[in-house]
Amino acid sequence: MRTHISRTGALARTIALWVSAHLAAGQVANGQAVNIQARENASIQVVQEQATTSNAGLLRIAAVKYSGGGDWYQASTPLPNFLRYVRTNTLMQVDTRPDVVELSSDKVFGFPFLFLSGHGNIVLSDGEAQRLRRYLQNGGFLYVDDDYGLDEYIRREMKKIFPEKSFVELPFDHEIYHAHYPFPNGLPKIHEHDNAPPRGYGLFHEGRLIVFYTYETNISDGWESPEVHNDSPETRETAFRMGTNILTYAMMH
């Protein structure tokens, strides 16, 4: 199966995310509600300008830069390899140059897919948590990959964002494991951490998967260049394929 997401579709999804999130925020100026149409037009213009400066209409992905001491930058190094794989092996028209975005900035709404990884602590401010909640509730998608040592911290921060929600483990027949390549046994094991099986968890909003969290597998390590971890070509191919499923699923829902 060759998944196709057009330039127009990618831009439209980003515009819809930006507009819906900003309208949902209920922004007020000078004590008066800002005209909805004016806000919508302004939001569309901003997103269109961003797209023009970065291969207009391409699907743009960003790594999340966070505070707390964890090595957020681990997420940015394998992404170009992964995006080149997607560009070569699917019909998704992705920008192969990933961005880095901070959750303190409204620039987050310019990316329909965010990636977060690392080994240690992550701390989100109240403002960052609120912005990420708004982003996810209005069409955005977050993929979190535990690079070993992230688990307790990401669970704590997700509770800050969604105190009413808890991670649920996805069954092997969930569409994310079959969106482009078949993974009938769920997540593949890419790297060994604690001699435990790989697990995929999700957070849902109104029936839509908004956060996918992979644990005890480290999918993104398999996206690194071969010399980094000395992974076999088969292991790297498996990691790329699972990542492709995640991105495909996120963009189709």
- The answer to whether the CB of 147 falls within 8 A of the CB of 121 is no
Q: Which domain holds residue 155?
A: 4-252
Q: How big is the CA angle at 205 (ends 199 and 207), to the nearest 5 degrees? A: 85
pLDDT at residue 237 is higher than 80: yes
The DSSP element (H or E) to which 204 belongs, if any, is: strand 199-205
pLDDT at residue 11 is higher than 60: no
pLDDT, tens digit, for every residue of 149-173? Answer: 889 999 999 999 999 999 999 999 9
* pLDDT value of position 76: 65
Query: 143-154 burial, b if ≥16 CB within 10 A, otherwise e?
Result: bbbbbbebeebb
* pLDDT value of position 119: 83
Pairing of strands 208-215, 199-205: antiparallel
* pLDDT value of position 40: 38
Name the DSSP class of 202.
Answer: E
pLDDT tier, 65 (very low <50, low <70, confident <90, very high otherwise): very high
pLDDT at residue 16 is higher than 80: no
Sign of CA pseudo-dihedral 99, 156, 213, 119: positive
Q: How big is the CA angle at 149 (ends 62 and 251), to the nearest 5 degrees? A: 30
Place of tokens 């701390």: 123
pLDDT at residue 125 is higher than 50: yes
pLDDT, tens digit, for every residue of 173-200? Answer: 999 999 999 999 999 999 877 889 999 9
- The answer to whether the CB of 234 falls within 8 A of the CB of 252 is no
Residue count of the chain: 253
Tell me how far CA of residue 54 lies from CA of 44, 60, 111, 139, 243, in angstroms: 16, 8, 12, 21, 23
Number of structural domains (the chain) is 1
* pLDDT value of position 22: 47
HEC per residue, 104-128: CCHHHHHCCEEEEEECCCCECCHHH
Token pair for 18: 């930006």
Token pair for 243: 């990542």
Dihedrals φ, ψ of 156, to 5°? -65, -45
- The answer to whether the CB of 133 falls within 8 A of the CB of 97 is no
* pLDDT value of position 36: 35
* pLDDT value of position 50: 44
Token pair for 140: 């955005």
- Domain of 14, CATH number, reads 3.40.50.12140
pLDDT tier, 56 (very low <50, low <70, confident <90, very high otherwise): low
Average pLDDT of every residue of the chain: 82
Percentage of residues of the chain with pLDDT beyond 90: 64
Name the DSSP class of 164.
Answer: T
Q: How big is the CA angle at 11 (ends 23 and 204), to the nearest 5 degrees? A: 60
